[in-house]
Structure 1
Amino acid sequence: MSVTFGIVGSGWRSEFFLRIAAAMPERFTVTGLVTRSADTAADIERRWGVRGHADLDGLLAAGTPDFVVVSVPRDVAPGVIVELVDRGVPVLTETPPAGTLDDLVALWERVQRPGAPTVQVAEQYHLSPLLSAQLAVAHSGRLGRPTQALVAQCHDYHGVSVIRRALGIGADDAEVTASVFRSPLVAGPGRAGDPTEERIVTATQTTARFTFGDRLGVYDFAGEQYFSWIRGNRLLVRGERGEIENTEVRWLRRFDEPVFGSLRRVMTGEGGNLEGMFLRGILLGDEWVFRNPFLPARINDDEIAIARMLDGMPRAIAGEAPVYSLAEASQDHYLALLMQHAAETGNTLRSTRQPWADIVDDELHARAVSG
């Protein structure tokens, strides 16, 4: 049965959802898209076969989607989310769900009420194939209890989300320190494509430490990493019995018996393989630590992650496991805001419990129980 959804917004991120639906029409259907521009609406219909609408009235009158994806700027998103919730429509909103802490709290108070439609947030990183595999290894018992995580592959709340997931952190109290370092870097490609000339840009790298009692998260990221050919991503997770460093895993089977393994991507379409072009999954030795649920669709890792969110929404709406809840998103963005403030001021900051903290802790416990 196909998952149906509408979209509010026509920016760069909206096209990810459109591409996924076009690649797997048997699984996903876009019922329409809201955009203020008539020219953009015409272009969307020409390129994707999706009808554009000027407002929510038009979108919802054209059909009843399972939910609506909100893909608009963070200062606009809360108003759209509230309007959809007031109309009884479940929401999957892009990150972050609101801008400031006050905005987060205000949104939470408006939509977190008994009987209100489900609001989930489109945080895809922990659902991407490699990170999914790495996090599965981190919580497989091989490393013991994860106590340290270094994340250098995504910005702000995305990086914080990976840190919390890697360490098994809920809404635990955090002590936050941060600093900024700027350095020259040869510009790489961007959203518009490959560079056409050599150009030096200034890379702004934020490094932060999140101390959660006896667990430590380190954030280290510059926005240029997203497209740079010469600034790679890194993930390090350590426990008392082992560690995972990018694709290398080292652990102790016994105190005197070390084991070494590597994560291996299993791709089709390489060499003489004629199966198509898709990711089959990721192996650690002979164990599948990630299996692609959407093969043989020809989609990239980020699109696999986003498709997993879309696919999980009906279950979240039914009250089963959340995709990535408004509570989690609010906590991650709150910690990211503390990090930004610590970097600007040089002060050590401490988190306080926010209105969503109990739900974050409950969801962490539920994930631990379900494995």
Structure 2
Amino acid sequence: MINFVIIGGGWRTEFYLRIAKAMPERFHISAICVRNAERRRYITEKFNVKVLSSLEESLQKPFDFIVNCINKEDISDLSVELADMGYYVLSETPVIKKPKQGHCYEKIQVAEQFHLKGTYQALKKIIDTGVIGNVNHIQLSVAHDYHAMSLLRFLLDDYEKPNLISSHILDDKMVRTHGRIGEFAEKTEEITHQQNKVYQFKNATAIYDYNIEQYFSPIRKERILIRGQRVKLKTIRFDI
């Protein structure tokens, strides 16, 4: 049995609650700490669990590690604080803002799951067979920021810091139809932003091209292009 504490009551917290609910024989939530009273009530009612407001009280029961799901502005500082106190931390992103000496970073792991998804595992297996030859270029439009960089490093098997060649943010006028909660009752036309970056890795170039709307929009879906010496791989997802 894996016992863990959850800190935070946002959207990402609910994923861990659903996991524990679906597999109670493997996962047990020792405590949940949420400081926002409204979110405490929401989680209590939706998942039928006791939610605490005090971090100190949440750490009283035995557990194996802490899942840090608080807001992106404070998540890094809290992870470092908990690690320095001797706790193991599984942190949502972003993990560490600016690493400094003297902290127990080895106790912190990042909850980065994109490279474990079936599509990307399958692409990596194809690459590793050598059938497409050495990969010399990737165009990635499936996730934002650090998630995208994690995927690029995984697919290229290159974990050194790449050189940033260029970076642009472009306006993308579109009708917003979906979000985290599902389909919007009212669809509105808005100007969104498409971020485009070109990187030079050791043996390949890469283009990161992403609009945050792609996570939920049926008209802005993910796509990948991988060019090898012999074969080009291309994936596009259509939901319309």
Cα distance in 1 for partners of 2:165, 2:4 equals 38
State the distance in 1 between where 2:12 and 2:42 align.
Answer: 16
Determine the C-alpha separation between the residues in 2 that align with 1:57 and 1:75. Answer: 21
SS in 2 for 1:229: coil
Cα deviation 1:175-205 (Å, max 9, x = unaligned): 3311121121111111232122331011211
Give 1:29-44 correspondences, 5 Å limit: 29-44=28-43
Deviation at 1:172, TM superposition (A): 4.2
Q: Which amino acid aligns with 2:70?
A: V
Q: How far apart are residue 50 of structure 1 and its match?
A: 2.9
Give matches, 1:63-142, under 5 Å: 63-98=61-96, 103-106=97-100, 109-112=102-105, 118-142=107-131
Q: Which residue of 2 aligns with 1:239?
A: 228
TM-score (norm 2): 0.90
Report the counterpart of residue 217 of structure 1 in structure 2.
206
Query: How much has 1:212 moved relative to structure 2?
Result: 1.6
Q: Is the 8 A contact 2:165 2:197 kept in 1?
A: yes
For 1:9, the aligned partner's letter is G
Aligned to 1:22: 21
Q: Tell me how far 1:83 sits from its aligned partner.
A: 2.6
Q: Quote the residue 1:51 is aligned against.
A: 50
Give, in whole Å, the separation in 1 of the partners of 2:66 and 2:165: 35
Trace 1:1-371 onto structure 2 (pairs within 5 A): 2-61=1-60, 63-98=61-96, 103-106=97-100, 109-112=102-105, 118-246=107-235
2: distance between equivalents of 1:37 and 1:197?
29
Code of the aligned partner of 1:83: E
* Cα distance in 1, alignment partners of residues 126 and 22 from structure 2: 30
- For residue 138 of structure 1, give the secondary structure of its aligned residue in structure 2: helix
Shift of 1:93: 0.4
Greater relative CO (CA pairs within 8 A, separation 6+): 1
Instruction: Give 1:220's aligned amino acid.
Output: D
Letter of the 1:78 partner, please give it.
Answer: S
What residue identity is the alignment partner of 1:128? K
Amino acid at match of 1:245: K
CA distance in 1, matches of 2:48, 2:186: 36
Q: Distance in 2 between matches of 1:130 and 1:229?
A: 18
The DSSP-based 3-state class of the residue aligned with 1:105 is: coil
Native 8 Å contact 1:147 1:216 kept in 2: yes
Runs (5+) with no aligned partner, structure 2? none
Question: Higher strand share goes to which structure?
Answer: 2
Residue of structure 2 equivalent to 1:275: none
Alpha-carbon spacing, 1:74–1:37, altered in 2? closer, same or farther (3 Å): closer
Letter in 2 for 1:111: C
Report the 3-state secondary structure (helix = DSSP H, G, I; strand = E; otherwise coil) of the residue aligned with 2:123. Answer: helix
Same amino acid, percent of matched pairs: 32
Cα distance in 2 for partners of 1:41, 1:222 equals 32
| Contact 1:97/1:104, CA 8 A, preserved across alignment | no
| Alignment length (residue pairs) | 237
Contact 1:31 1:50 in 2 (8 A): no
Residue pair 1:31, 1:51 contacting (<8 A) in 2 also: no
Q: Could you report, residue by residue, the CA deviation over 1:192-230 in whole angstroms, capped at 9, with x for unpaired residues?
A: 321223310112111111012431111011111111111
CA drift of 1:169 comes to 1.1
Contiguous gaps of at least 5 residues in structure 1: 249-371
Quote the RMSD (CA, aligned, Å): 2.1
Partner Cα distance (2:220, 2:162) in 1: 32
Q: Which residue of 2 aligns with 1:316?
A: none
SS of equivalent residue, structure 2 residue 28: strand
Q: In the aligned structure 2, how far is the partner of 1:75 from the partner of 1:64?
A: 28
Q: CA deviation at 1:42?
A: 4.1
1:269-322 CA distance string (max 9 Å, x none): xxxxxxxxxxxxxxxxxxxxxxxxxxxxxxxxxxxxxxxxxxxxxxxxxxxxxx
- Per-residue deviation, 1:89: 1.2
Report if aligned partners of 2:164, 2:197 keep a CA contact under 8 Å in 1. Answer: no
